[in-house]
Structure 1
Amino acid sequence: MLKPHQELTAKGKEIFDIVHQIGELIPEDSQELQHLKGQMLGDAMMLTAKVRGAEGGDLYDIRMENAAIIRKAARDLMVSNHSLEMYGFKYVDYFDMVRELIEEYRLIFIRWVQSFDQWNYIIDRWGLFNPPGVGPFDKDPDDDIPFDNPFDDEE
């Protein structure tokens, strides 16, 4: 069985592939739709790139920051069909596949975020991504750890 981050990465790649295929149907002569295509592809790329960033960072605040970026990208992608429709894209119905995949992604995402180790953190002094019960003005427990430089006695 795959771990949640592996499932997210696989589902993110699937979403990117579908978005890319839909993007190939966008007419080259429509500046608005081409711009939208770039945004959609960027959002779809974030779904895998930021999972890797979160896994590499491992700290709770880094994971949560990446999770927030993923959430924004997924939500922006979810409503892209409205812009496609507004600019007259003929195949907007294909985007329903993307929306269904994002819903599947969202459910995996929830499990992934729940797997974050809340005890592996540094205090986020901006106050956005601290574990429950930790505030931006809390005293850092690491400040109480004495640091003795072993090289001080070498003189």
Structure 2
Amino acid sequence: MEELEHVPLYKKAKDIQNLVDSVVDVIMDSQLEYETEQEGQMIDDSLTYLGENSDLIPQKIALVHGEDIPYNEKMESACFIKNAAIEILTDLDHIELSGYKDIEYFDLLRNEIDDFRILFAEWVTTFDPWDYEIDRWGLFNPPGVKYDDYDPDDDLPFDIDDFFEDL
């Protein structure tokens, strides 16, 4: 299996994480003026979310890196990753709309996320949909797999009814 540090998607996620850290530092060091205390709190929240989302992306990639991870777990992590990337873009827009003017890094970060999106879409196609555990919520099952056909007791090495009859 390829070392995680050499996986292009993971490397790009780490690049995004480092760039977000730099963007947050630059904004924190700037002299932003807020019209209201709530506006200041919203910008502070956006900066916090930028950091949290950029941290989450490589964590979720690492969590499902490996051939022994079932499809449904990979898909669940993929949803978190996609959402985090979109939220980074949304927070950048919010900060920009709030009047922050030095946005050169924003465009660089947007381009990095777009490059990441392409790698991400290619990565998702590598998931084996037939190596899965049934998702009883029905969200991450391969096409045609019924979430309600699964009985968790089927995994038991014995018949539970026989067990209780012996008591």
| TM-score computed with the length of structure 1 as normaliser | 0.81
Q: Is the 8 A contact 1:32 1:87 kept in 2?
A: no
Matched ranges for 1:14-25 at <5 A: 14-25=15-26
2:111 is the alignment partner of 1:100: yes
Matched ranges for 1:53-68 at <5 A: 53-55=63-65, 58-68=69-79
How many Å apart are 1:19 and its aligned residue? 0.9
1:118 is aligned to 129
Question: 1: CA distance between counterparts of 2:26 and 2:81?
Answer: 25
Question: 2: CA distance between counterparts of 1:65 and 1:124?
Answer: 10
How many Å apart are 1:146 and its aligned residue? 8.5
Q: Is the 8 A contact 1:47 1:74 kept in 2?
A: yes
* Count of residue pairs the alignment pairs up: 147
Question: 1: CA distance between counterparts of 2:128 and 2:136?
Answer: 19
SS at match of 1:24: helix
Which of 76, 98, 101 is residue 87 of structure 2 equivalent to? 76
2:58 is aligned to 48
- Which 5+ residue runs of structure 1 have no aligned equivalent? 149-155
| TM-score computed with the length of structure 2 as normaliser | 0.76
1:11-30 deviation line (CA, Å, top 9, x unaligned): 00101111111111113675
RMSD of aligned Cα (Å): 2.8
SS at match of 1:44: helix
What letter matches 2:24 in structure 1? G
What letter matches 1:33 in structure 2? I
1:134 is aligned to 145
Question: 2: CA distance between counterparts of 1:86 and 1:100?
Answer: 19
- Which 5+ residue runs of structure 2 have no aligned equivalent? 33-39, 159-167
1:151 is aligned to none
Question: 2: CA distance between counterparts of 1:88 and 1:135?
Answer: 50
